[in-house]
Amino acid sequence: MPASMLLTNVRPAGGPTTTVLVRDGRIAVVGKGAKADSVDVVDAGGALMLPGLVEAHTHLDKTLYGMAWYRNEVGPRLIDKIDNERAMKKKLGIDPARQSARQVVLSVGHGTTHIRTHVDVDTEVGLAGIEGVMRTRERYRNIIDIEIVAFPQSGLLVRPGTVELMEEALKMGAEVVGGLDPSGIDRDPKGHLDAIFGLAERHGRPLDIHLHEAGELGAFAVELTIERTKVLGMQGRVTLSHAFCLGMPDPVAVGALIDGLAEAGIHVMTTGPASRPAPPVKRLVEAGITVCSGNDGIRDTWGPYGNGDMLERAMFVGLRNNLRRDDELELALDVCTHGGARVMALADYGLEPGCRADFVLVDAETVAEAVAGRPPRKLVVKNGRIVARDGRAIVEAP
Amino acid sequence: MPASMLLTNVRPAGGPTTTVLVRDGRIAVVGKGAKADSVDVVDAGGALMLPGLVEAHTHLDKTLYGMAWYRNEVGPRLIDKIDNERAMKKKLGIDPARQSARQVVLSVGHGTTHIRTHVDVDTEVGLAGIEGVMRTRERYRNIIDIEIVAFPQSGLLVRPGTVELMEEALKMGAEVVGGLDPSGIDRDPKGHLDAIFGLAERHGRPLDIHLHEAGELGAFAVELTIERTKVLGMQGRVTLSHAFCLGMPDPVAVGALIDGLAEAGIHVMTTGPASRPAPPVKRLVEAGITVCSGNDGIRDTWGPYGNGDMLERAMFVGLRNNLRRDDELELALDVCTHGGARVMALADYGLEPGCRADFVLVDAETVAEAVAGRPPRKLVVKNGRIVARDGRAIVEAP
């Protein structure tokens, strides 16, 4: 199948109905001049065309999706969930290659064309997670792009040997250095941040730090992150994931953090969590900060929720941030598309001529309706080729 | 079609596979003794059987579902939304009979068997909303039960004539007296609450009060409501909807309110709102308070969200309250089934022999999976008759 097609009767980003020519895996012409130049013609039936959805934060290696239902009886603390998960990986036989493949196929069906996944690296699982997800990445390389964050889920300094494993993961093919709650888990904010910034500097890699720490403790970690980002010239290459502390009630403190993040060019990832303080998305975007989103863990030992749908995630971001106006829902979608693309530094992303032909068609009148209604994806195109129809990927999961 | 059937290969509430005999619109036998006594046999294929979902708070009269997409450009205040809505009812031609019918058919497809709907009564729309929803109630009386709250959406005392219209609505067929933000809208908490409790007392009706007022202002309204409920002996017949003030950060103040509500037998309705303080569902239930839920407005001039699915609403309640364990997700479903049934004082509700045969079949291993995954409703039965299959009602919407 050639990576070319002529899409007729389509509305890019909810604009007027037009014609789009895809040639050699790229959007070649939009509107006048888009002709059926010996390529397949696909009548979009008036569908809305959105850029490929960007899942900028998930954990492909440890979803239980497709396995027997896991009865969750885990304790309430963060460390309960981390310890339980390490034990369950063995007990349940969570195979990273198989499970990541299942989630990827699910995501493709929902129109996701790019994924940034955090993959556990620790002294028990070693690099098995990285290896498994790399096999999945290779297997599905023609239908989705996957970026891997080497993620010290069980702590970095508290588990000697983990830094070395992280180095190894980066050499194997992980692109991004991960970090996690420098005070809450490693009990040493300076030590943890110096270690991960050191890894990032030595290997010339971006950073993505899970920061669940709330209130002033989280704010302190944000300050330390801003300082290091500026000193090392890493502006535009550092992401804070979750950043619950940006949802703390002190508007003056939050304002200062937002200013600092904007100045240091640090990105923020939020899932739009309903039960936690959360970064105020509109304010961040207005301050010039790039905000992305992701589904986080899907049906895993941490929690039962999630289906891999980034349009549903845009809805969650909207609901959490009380976004009701159409322009606000368009912002929520932007977070789940262009925001993620900027965080992952994707080249040629979008619906303009010259961009990679990564896009999604849905039956919806407007972008706002697509977010609120989450209609099934009619067609998903990756690199100019159809990879999913009517909500289902054209490939099978293991 | 007789209101009788033999369901084989079914798992009530996720328990062991069994057989259920439905006869004359009721669950007659569960397990041994359930035989095909000249009735239709329906093989449930191992599906989970849940009691009919209870939508205990919505606004049937003003959904825009099925109409052209409404571009929301409304201001941020509560009064902006109220004023805009009154204007849009005329401008867009929101017909209460047609629109309520559309939402009802959608809800039936999602397995809702009972609805409590608040219907606007004001000096502009008059009783047109009540009349329209009553027509819908009559039209679909065999497939769903609808209870009507006469709701003074635009204020009671600030709009002279509204009390009289409320009286009229109750005489016409509305069962419940509604109230709304006694300070925020009517600017007179004592006056508003005296008026609606007076209506309830004179007509011998239950009360359901929209209380968006947050923090101490809301807490004051809760106190006044508790006082009146006890004095008038209305325990078990008063519901506070939304009750955002129960999510305020002061645990001592919230504890006192919860104790007071429990003592007065006042119910609480929460949608599990992601962007607002919210009643802590587990704590309320542990204190003995009946908690119910609802989808509130579905795709209306207030906001674009909602699809009428009470399993999705159970998920929202779970997400908002950080419910992750299986027993916690079972609680979320209980809120959307038995909780609503208690608030609406439904007789013979449940899956036990003798109960009305109002139930839903879904393909899910466990109740928790049904809540987290929201699978399409395989079969919906009301009064012993099939009213929806595979997510679609057997009747058409106008």
DSSP output for B36-58: -SSSEEEEEEEEEEEEPEEEEEE
Cβ-proximal residues to B89 (8 Å cutoff; 6+ apart), any chain: B62, B124, B125
Nearest CA in chain A to B281: A275
pLDDT for the residue B35: 80
Contacts of B275 in chain A (CB under 8 A): 319-322
My answer on whether A125 and A190 are in the same domain is yes
Q: Please count the residue pairs, one from chain A and one from chain B, whose beta carbons lie less than 8 angstroms apart.
A: 90
Nearest CA in chain B to A323: B303
pLDDT for the residue A273: 98
pLDDT for the residue B155: 95
My answer on whether A26 and A161 are in the same domain is no
| pLDDT digits 0-9 by tens, B201-233 | 999 999 999 999 999 999 999 999 999 999 999
Is B22 part of a structural domain of the chain? yes
Spans of chain A, pLDDT less than 70: 1-2, 37
pLDDT for the residue B236: 98
Is A79 part of a structural domain of the chain? yes
Check if B318 contacts A (Cβ < 8 Å).
yes
Q: Choose among B71, B272, B365: nearest Cβ to A326.
A: B71
CA A150 to chain centre: 14
Mean pLDDT across the stretch B30-36?
A: 84
Is A13 part of a structural domain of the chain? yes
Is B395 part of a structural domain of the chain? no
pLDDT for the residue A2: 59
For the cut 60, the answer to whether the pLDDT of residue B1 exceeds it is no
Beta partners for A178? Answer: A208
My answer on whether B140 and B209 are in the same domain is yes
For residue A16, give the CATH number of its domain: 2.30.40.10
For B121-185, the DSSP string reads -BTTTBTHHHHHHHHHHHHTTTT-EEEEEEE-TT-SSSSTTHHHHHHHHHHHT--EEEEE-TTTT
Check if A365 contacts B (Cβ < 8 Å).
yes
Check if B77 contacts A (Cβ < 8 Å).
no
Q: Rounded CA gap, A20 and A18, in Å? A: 7
For residues A381 and A343, is the Cβ–Cβ distance under 8 A? no
My answer on whether A245 and A385 are in the same domain is no
Check A368 against B71: CB less than 8 A apart.
yes
Residue A72, helix vs strand vs coil:
coil
My answer on whether B102 and B197 are in the same domain is yes
Q: Which of B 90-129 lie inside 8 A of A, CB atoms?
A: none
My answer on whether A165 and A18 are in the same domain is no
Give how far A304 is from chain B: nearest CA, Å: 6
> Pick the residue with more confidence: B59 or B4?
B59
What is the crossing angle of helices A128-139 and A96-109, to 10°? 40
Q: Which stretch of B35-39, B111-115, B349-353 has the lowest confidence by average pLDDT?
A: B35-39
Check A371 against B304: CB less than 8 A apart.
yes
| pLDDT digits 0-9 by tens, B294-305 | 999 999 999 999
My answer on whether A293 and A356 are in the same domain is no
- Please give the structure tokens belonging to residue A210: 């899970």
Candidates B142, B147, B138, B146; CA nearest to B25 is: B142
Cβ-proximal residues to B394 (8 Å cutoff; 6+ apart), any chain: B143, B386, B387, B388
Is A192 part of a structural domain of the chain? yes
Query: In terms of residue numbers, what domain contains B278?
Result: 53-343
Mean pLDDT across the stretch B62-80?
A: 93
Q: Choose among A304, A316, A326: nearest Cβ to B329.
A: A304
Contacts of B318 in chain A (CB under 8 A): 305
Contacts of B321 in chain A (CB under 8 A): 275
Check if B275 contacts A (Cβ < 8 Å).
yes
Final residue in a domain of this structure, among B322, B343, B364: B343
| pLDDT digits 0-9 by tens, B91-105 | 999 999 999 999 999
Check A72 against B304: CB less than 8 A apart.
no
Check B274 against A316: CB less than 8 A apart.
yes
My answer on whether B46 and B59 are in the same domain is no
| pLDDT digits 0-9 by tens, B232-254 | 999 999 999 999 999 999 999 99
Q: Residue B135 to residues A334, B62, B129: CA-CA distances in angstroms? A: 42, 15, 10
Is B394 part of a structural domain of the chain? no
Q: Residue A229 to residues A302, B47, B357: CA-CA distances in angstroms? A: 31, 54, 63
Give how far A364 is from chain B: nearest CA, Å: 9
My answer on whether A325 and A212 are in the same domain is yes
Q: What whole-number percentage of chain B has pLDDT above 90?
A: 95
For residues B148 and B137, is the Cβ–Cβ distance under 8 A? yes
Is A356 part of a structural domain of the chain? yes
Question: For chain A, how many structural domains are there in total?
Answer: 2
Contacts of A329 in chain B (CB under 8 A): 304
Q: How confident is the model at residue B151 (pLDDT cuts 50, 70, 90)?
A: very high
My answer on whether B318 and B203 are in the same domain is yes
For residue A274, give the CATH number of its domain: 3.20.20.140
Is A396 part of a structural domain of the chain? no
For the cut 90, the answer to whether the pLDDT of residue B76 exceeds it is no
pLDDT for the residue B39: 81
| pLDDT digits 0-9 by tens, A61-94 | 999 999 999 999 999 888 899 899 999 999 999 9
Sheet architecture: strand order including B385-389: B26-30, B18-23, B5-12, B40-51, B359-362, B377-382, B385-389, B392-393
Check B69 against A302: CB less than 8 A apart.
no
Nearest CA in chain A to B298: A372
My answer on whether A17 and A62 are in the same domain is no
Check B71 against A303: CB less than 8 A apart.
no
Give how far A195 is from chain B: nearest CA, Å: 32
pLDDT for the residue B33: 83
My answer on whether B173 and B315 are in the same domain is yes
